[in-house]
Amino acid sequence: MKTLFQRKGNRMGRPSVQDQRKKEVLDAFMTCVVLYGVEGATLEHIAAQAGLKRPLIRHHLGNRKAMVLALGEHIADTLTNQSEALRAALTNHPGVRSLIEALFNSDGELDSRVNICYQALVNSIENYPELRKPLLESMEAFYKVAIDIVLASHPKTDKQACEIVAHGIVNLFVTTDAFIPLKPPKTWAYSSYFAALKLAETLEEKS
């Protein structure tokens, strides 16, 4: 749900043409990574997706390594912003059930490319070790928000149990998006959603 996860920018005024074009190129790069993987997302594919000539892609993102690192930073920033927006959105609607509904019942508004690209970049860490820190920190931020929400909902429950459930819910959500390129049966997504609810119920039993 974009209204929940995507924060509006804090910068004053309109973004520059350069910034806007770079954003468009990164968006095209994301789509190509979903379709072809990190290494398969060539300049030709990105240029065609963005509707630009190849030299302009390099102009906005640099050489191949710079391109991948820019995408990694973009994905990490997006995930971190989504986490912050999730915390803010659930401030007045606390509870594990609200967390699960926010993650799984987005009515197709969440950009599934973020999680798919995240996983693709993780698989490219050996070639681009600089990605490790921003990707790890952004996922830690996501876990932290989920853990805080679960802990706030069950203050009398064992902290470790709350952390385990929070991790399980986040992992189910991320895995569900990771399967999208396979075009799996819809029952897989439903099963992940209900599995998350079952995890939440284990905390109710302990409260």
* Domain count along the chain: 2
Give start and end residues of each alpha helix (H) in 62-185.
Answer: 64-89, 96-104, 113-122, 132-153, 159-178
Whether 88 shows a pLDDT value over 70: the answer reads yes
Q: Are residues 91 and 28 in the same domain?
A: no
Q: Are residues 101 and 202 in the same domain?
A: yes
Q: Which amino acid is at 115?
A: N
d(CA 167, CA 198): 14
Cβ pair 172, 130 in contact under 8 A = no
Residue 12 is classified by DSSP as S
Q: Are residues 164 and 128 in the same domain?
A: yes
Whether 164 maps to a domain, the answer reads: yes
Whether 32 shows a pLDDT value over 50: the answer reads yes
Per-residue pLDDT averaged across 156-165, rounded?
94
Q: Which domain holds residue 42?
A: 11-62
Give the residue among 139, 110, 121, 138 at the shortest CA–CA distance from 41: 121
Q: Take residue 44 and report the two structure tokens written for it.
A: 């030709």
Q: Among 51-65, 134-148, 152-166, which is the least confidently predicted range?
A: 51-65
Percent of the chain residues past pLDDT 90, beyond the cut: 58
CATH of the domain at 39: 1.10.10
Q: Are residues 160 and 185 in the same domain?
A: yes
Binned at pLDDT 50, 70 and 90, residue 8 comes out as: very low
**Which residues, including other chains, have CB under 8 Å from residue 4's CB and lie 6 or more apart?**
85, 86, 89, 102, 106
pLDDT at position 54? 87
Q: Are residues 91 and 169 in the same domain?
A: yes
Whether 97 shows a pLDDT value over 80: the answer reads yes
Q: Which amino acid is at 144?
A: K
pLDDT at position 205? 65
Whether 87 maps to a domain, the answer reads: yes
Q: Are residues 160 and 100 in the same domain?
A: yes
Cβ pair 150, 158 in contact under 8 A = no
> In this structure, what is the dihedral angle of CA atoms 38, 39, 43, 48, given to the nearest 10 degrees?
-60
CATH of the domain at 200: 1.10.357
Per-residue pLDDT averaged across 127-136, rounded?
96
Binned at pLDDT 50, 70 and 90, residue 14 comes out as: low
pLDDT at position 3? 42
Whether 42 maps to a domain, the answer reads: yes
pLDDT at position 49? 94
Q: Are residues 35 and 110 in the same domain?
A: no
What is the full DSSP assignment across 123-134? TTTTT-GGGHHH
Cβ pair 60, 21 in contact under 8 A = yes
Q: Are residues 41 and 85 in the same domain?
A: no
Per-residue pLDDT averaged across 36-50, rounded?
93
Per-residue pLDDT averaged across 112-132, rounded?
93
- Count CB neighbours of 196 within 10 A: 25
Whether 15 shows a pLDDT value over 70: the answer reads no
Whether 127 maps to a domain, the answer reads: yes
